[in-house]
């Protein structure tokens, strides 16, 4: 290939190469610009609505008001500790859900007969909004951190479990044949073949679960927690501080976006290692 390049490059007229480089740079800029333009437009529309006089400033504060509110919350020391509280709660609940749902999913995925009994139970429980568990969660777990964690846990649990079961059931049978052919012990079949083979699909489930659980973070914290972004919203409502409410909502959105990007990057790295192109995912 290098030989090919060295004979080819001098023959290429310089202007066209430069034009190509310029075009590539423009394309890269456009790729970054288009999504940014979407977000800028959202903020612009929000601003126009806020200054249009349709609602009073107390009903619909604009982005500038929200920014001012964030500076106030930051300097009063209510912003960062509440973000930290939310992230900690989320991490505990999400990781607990993954730690329980993935092994369970592997087990049910391998035991089709048992899954036939469990699947309807899951399908029956899954449509119940995680928030509906809240009154019972308070009765069982008391007031404080745990009910909120339970809600996030429930939200992350089902997608992770279902994705794992499906991933394990759809492991390419040839991988299992090869494993049996080499006389692999059942334990090794699970850990050396089934789980790695299912992992890219499990990773898809993990990403869906992160999104679902993050949505319920605020709901969980609005119901009884004394810290966190959800609490910040409830607290601001009690003082009719709509600018603080919108500021907290924006922070929730931005953090959710960043977390999703992080998990997506992990997913891409798994796919690259496994040799899966993005189109291979259903």
Partner 1 sequence: MSAPAIRIDRATRRFRDASGAPRTAILDVSLEVAQGEFVCLLGPSGCGKTTVLNLIAGFDRPSSGRVLVHDREVDGPDPSRLCIFQDYGLYPWRTVLENVEYGLEVRGARKAERRERAHELLRLVGLDGFAGHLPHQLSGGMQQRVAVARALVVDPELLLMDEPFGALDALTRIRLQDEVARLAQERSKTVVFVTHDVEESVLLAARVVVMAPSPGRIQRIIPLGLPRPRCRTNDGFVALRAEILRELGVVHAGDSNHPAPAKESAA
Give me the residues that bind partner 1 (CB under 8 A), please: 174-175, 177-185, 188, 192-193, 196-197, 199, 273-276
* Cα dihedral: 229, 231, 232, 233 (round 10): 90
Q: Which is nearer to partner 1, 7 or 181 (CB)?
A: 181
CA 199 to chain centre: 17
- Residue whose CB is less far from partner 1, 134 or 199: 199
- Min dist CB 191 to partner 1, Å, is 11
Rounded Cα distance between 60 and 50, Å, is 6
For 138, the token pair is 């308070």
Per the rule left: phi > 0, alpha: psi between -120 and 50, beta: everything else, 32 is alpha
CB of residue 179 to partner 1, shortest distance in Å: 8
Q: Nearest distance from residue 104's CB to partner 1, in Å?
A: 22
Q: C-beta of 259: minimal distance to partner 1 in Å?
A: 25
Quickly tell me which residue has 């009063």 as its tokens.
76
Cα distance from N-terminal residue to C-terminal residue, the chain? 35
Shortest distance in whole angstroms from residue 99 CB to partner 1: 21
Q: Which is nearer to partner 1, 58 or 188 (CB)?
A: 188
Which residue number, 79 or 198, has a Cβ lying nearer to partner 1? 198
Q: How far is the CB of 110 from partner 1 (least distance, A)?
A: 18
Nearer to partner 1, 92 or 276 (CB): 276
Give the integer Cα–Cα distance in Å for 142 and 138: 5
Q: Give the Cβ contact number of residue 184 at 10 Å.
A: 15
Long-range pairs for 178-184 at CB < 8 Å and ≥24 separation?
A: none
Tokens of 115: 């899954």
Per the CB < 8 A criterion, the answer to whether 162 and 193 are in contact is: no
Kindly state the smallest distance separating residue 156's Cβ from partner 1, in Å.
25
- Would you say 193 or 204 has its CB closer to partner 1? 193
Structure tokens at 10: 């001098």
Cβ proximity of 164 and 109 under 8 Å: yes
Smallest separation, CB 181 to partner 1 (Å): 5
Residue with tokens 């333009």: 37
Nearer to partner 1, 110 or 276 (CB): 276
Sequence-distant (≥ 6) Cβ neighbours of residue 219 within 8 angstroms: 130, 131, 151, 230
Spell out where 52-119 has E strands. Answer: none
């Amino acid at each position: 290939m290098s030989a090919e390049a060295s004979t080819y490059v001098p023959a290429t007229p310089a202007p066209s190469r430069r034009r190509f480089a310029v075009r590539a740079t423009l394309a890269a800029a456009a790729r970054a610009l288009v999504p940014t333009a979407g977000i800028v437009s959202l903020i612009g529309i929000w601003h126009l609505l806020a200054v249009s006089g349709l609602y009073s400033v107390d009903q619909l504060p604009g982005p500038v008001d929200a920014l001012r509110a964030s500076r106030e919350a930051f300097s009063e020391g209510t912003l960062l500790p509440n973000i930290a509280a939310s992230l900690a709660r989320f991490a505990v609940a999400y990781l607990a859900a993954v730690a329980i749902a993935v092994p369970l999913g592997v087990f049910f995925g391998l035991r089709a007969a048992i899954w036939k009994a469990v699947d309807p139970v899951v399908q029956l429980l899954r449509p119940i909004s995680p928030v509906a568990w809240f009154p019972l969660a308070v009765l069982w777990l008391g007031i404080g951190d745990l009910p909120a964690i339970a809600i996030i846990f429930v939200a992350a649990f089902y997608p992770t479990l279902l994705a794992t079961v499906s991933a394990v059931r759809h492991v390419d049978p040839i991988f299992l044949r090869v494993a049996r052919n080499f006389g692999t012990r059942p334990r090794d079949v699970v850990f050396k073949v089934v789980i790695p083979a299912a992992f890219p699909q499990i990773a898809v489930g993990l990403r869906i679960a992160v999104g679902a659980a993050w949505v319920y973070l605020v709901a969980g914290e609005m119901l009884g927690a004394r810290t966190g972004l959800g609490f910040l919203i409830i607290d601001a409502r009690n003082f009719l501080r709509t600018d603080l409410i919108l500021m907290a909502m924006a922070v929730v959105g931005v953090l959710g976006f960043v977390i999703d990007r992080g998990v997506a990057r992990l997913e891409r790295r798994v796919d690259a290692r496994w040799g899966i192109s993005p189109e291979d995912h259903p």
